[in-house]
């Protein structure tokens, strides 16, 4: 029996020009093999073979495109990258092992000793640690500014400022930055604007279209949507992504083919999931406002929110994350959380299952007391990542928390 080393099968690709984001989420990025599979294929392989020694040399030298080694080239990972790039409106994407790997790789690839970064004080706590504790070791200095303090951002700019980094809406207080204004500020100072789009996803917000240079995601969150895998991705123009790709190739914060395949499956349902998340979160935020034990609700979909109009203009909807302060302190917040029986007590977000957490002792627990205070992370703050369960069931479960606050001597309800 004779086997051919390489078989070329011409398979027409879908014509997706002008298609909507909902369609791109299902169709973009797929390249079928000679087996003509309808679902996306998965390639769990560490290496690839070549038809000849000459072809191997051409692949390694870059003269011929193609896969070399799954630390930096894998067909499944590439398919995921192409799909999320299409959805974000970017030229290219580079996938990583986690959202923090994506952010770290972006900084290491594009910054050098002596550079200065202006970063939102309202970013995810570990991002704060990355800039303060680790990048500072390599001579990169960071100034932290309140997300919505536009004058503060302007005042923080220096001749050596090379990057502005923010996430909008913020975690967990749902504050919103004007991306177009921030992009104008960055470009006026010859700096890059990097936006973490984790909370909105490309379904609700496209920072690149508003002037941002790069978009980052923790794919672990909404892109997967079911809490199965950890991953991250950076999206933007080819020139910047090539630098990040070279860093990935050299250092290896690689996304596995299996995780990339799971994220591809997640993207297929992302648009309909995000609509369900948004609908539930809005109704829950309105309901929480009516509860006597609640001091404040933070959700951009409420007209009382100071950034409601900006969020309406910049986003297609208001997202699935909200937070609220109960009357009291840590004891009352923990009592409320512990009384629930359906929602999951976990710091992850973006899941179809509703999750609840206490930011001051989990996601932002490593921040100093001063940093927590400046970021608004109080001891009575609770964050909800609203899932897609029946809204009445969510209300009934959270009502157990309110009953526990009213009857502290009776234990969990």
Average pLDDT over residues 237-263: 97
Work out the angle between the directed axes of helices 238-251 and 99-110 (0-180°, nearest 10).
110
CATH fold match for the domains 21-266 and 270-410: no
pLDDT tens sequence across 193-214 = 999 999 999 999 999 999 999 9
pLDDT tens sequence across 285-342 = 999 999 999 999 999 999 999 999 999 999 999 999 999 999 999 999 999 999 999 9
Q: Which residue has the tokens 């009291």?
A: 328
Beta-sheet strands, E only, within 77-227:
92-96, 116-120, 141-145, 161-167, 192-196, 214-218
| Residue 412 pLDDT > 70 | no
Rounded to whole angstroms, the Cα distance separating 381 from 70 reads 43
Rounded percentage of the chain residues whose pLDDT exceeds 90:
84
> What was the pLDDT predicted at 120?
96
Average pLDDT over the chain reads 93
Rounded percentage of the chain residues whose pLDDT exceeds 70:
95
| Nearest C-alpha neighbor of 275 from the set 305, 317, 247 | 317
Under the banding of pLDDT at 50, 70 and 90, the label for residue 407 is: confident
Model's pTM, two decimal places? 0.92
Rounded to whole angstroms, the Cα distance separating 76 from 3 reads 25
| Residue 9 pLDDT > 80 | no
Under the banding of pLDDT at 50, 70 and 90, the label for residue 18 is: confident
Using DSSP, state whether 20 is helix, strand or coil. Answer: coil
Q: Which residue has the tokens 């093999």?
A: 33
Rounded to whole angstroms, the Cα distance separating 397 from 386 reads 13
Rounded to whole angstroms, the Cα distance separating 276 from 292 reads 27
> What was the pLDDT predicted at 13?
58
Q: Is the peptide bond before 169 cis (omega within 30 degrees of 0)?
A: yes
Highest mean pLDDT out of 15-24, 258-267, 361-370: 258-267
Domain 21-266 is found in CATH 3.40.190.10: no
| Residue 117 pLDDT > 90 | yes
Give the CATH number of domain 270-410: 3.90.1150.10
Answer for the pair 377, 360: CB distance below 8 angstroms, yes or no. Answer: yes
| Nearest C-alpha neighbor of 5 from the set 68, 48, 67, 65 | 48
> What was the pLDDT predicted at 294?
98
Q: How far apart are the first and last CA of the chain?
A: 71
Instruction: Tell the burial category of 46 from Cβ atoms under 10 Å away from its Cβ (0-12, 13-18, 19+).
Output: exposed
SS (H, E, C) 275-307: HHHHHHHHHHHHHHHCCCCEEEEECCCCCCCCC
> Which CA distances in Å does 317 have to 178, 198, 384?
15, 14, 17
| Residue 8 pLDDT > 70 | no
Average pLDDT over residues 132-146: 96
Answer for the pair 304, 358: CB distance below 8 angstroms, yes or no. Answer: no
Q: Could you tell me the residue ranges of all domains in the chain?
A: 21-266, 270-410
User: In the structure encoding, which two tokens stand for residue 99, read together?
Assistant: 């959202």
Rounded to whole angstroms, the Cα distance separating 382 from 323 reads 5
| Residue 366 pLDDT > 80 | no
Answer for the pair 167, 124: CB distance below 8 angstroms, yes or no. Answer: yes
Q: Which residues pair with 116 in a beta bridge?
A: 141, 161
| Residue 11 pLDDT > 60 | no
Answer for the pair 109, 243: CB distance below 8 angstroms, yes or no. Answer: yes
Our CA angle for 199, 201, 204, nearest 5°, is 100
């Amino acid at each position: 029996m004779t086997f051919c080393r390489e078989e070329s099968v011409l398979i027409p690709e879908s014509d997706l020009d002008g298609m909507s984001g909902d369609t791109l989420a299902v169709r973009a990025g797929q390249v079928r093999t000679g087996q003509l599979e309808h679902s996306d294929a998965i390639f769990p392989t560490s290496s690839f073979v070549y038809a000849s020694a000459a072809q191997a040399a051409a692949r390694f030298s870059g003269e011929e495109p193609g896969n070399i080694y799954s630390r930096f080239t894998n067909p499944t990972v590439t398919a995921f990258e192409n799909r999320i790039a299409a959805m974000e409106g970017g030229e290219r994407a580079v996938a990583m092992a986690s959202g923090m790997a994506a952010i770290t790789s972006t900084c290491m690839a594009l910054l050098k000793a002596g550079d200065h970064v202006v970063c939102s004080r309202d970013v995810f706590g570990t991002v704060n640690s990355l800039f303060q504790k680790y990048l500072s070791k390599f001579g990169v200095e960071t100034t932290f500014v309140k997300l919505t303090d536009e004058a503060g951002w302007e005042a923080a700019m220096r001749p050596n400022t090379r990057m502005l980094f923010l996430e909008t809406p913020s975690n967990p207080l749902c504050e919103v930055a004007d991306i177009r204004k921030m992009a104008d500020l960055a470009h006026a100072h010859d700096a890059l604007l990097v936006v973490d789009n984790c909370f909105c996803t490309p379904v609700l917000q496209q920072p690149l279209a508003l002037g941002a240079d790069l978009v980052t995601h923790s794919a672990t969150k909404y892109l997967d949507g079911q809490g199965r895998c950890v991953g991250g991705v950076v999206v933007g123009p080819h020139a910047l992504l090539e630098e990040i790709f070279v860093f990935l190739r050299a250092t290896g914060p690689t996304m596995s083919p299996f995780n990339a395949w799971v994220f591809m499956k997640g993207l297929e349902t992302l648009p309909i999931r995000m609509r369900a998340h948004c609908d539930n979160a809005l109704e829950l935020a309105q309901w929480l406002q009516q509860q006597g034990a609640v001091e404040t609700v933070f959700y951009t979909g409420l007209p009382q929110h100071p950034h409601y109009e900006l969020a309406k203009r910049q986003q297609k909807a208001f997202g699935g994350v909200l937070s609220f302060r109960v009357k009291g302190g840590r004891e009352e917040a923990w009592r409320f959380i512990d009384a629930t029986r359906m929602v999951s007590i976990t710091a992850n977000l973006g899941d179809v299952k509703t999750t609840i957490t206490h930011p001051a002792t989990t996601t932002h627990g490593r921040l100093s007391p001063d940093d927590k205070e400046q970021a608004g992370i109080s001891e009575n703050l609770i964050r909800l990542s609203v899932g897609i369960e029946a809204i009445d069931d969510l209300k009934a479960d959270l009502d157990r928390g309110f009953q526990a606050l009213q009857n502290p001597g009776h234990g969990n309800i």
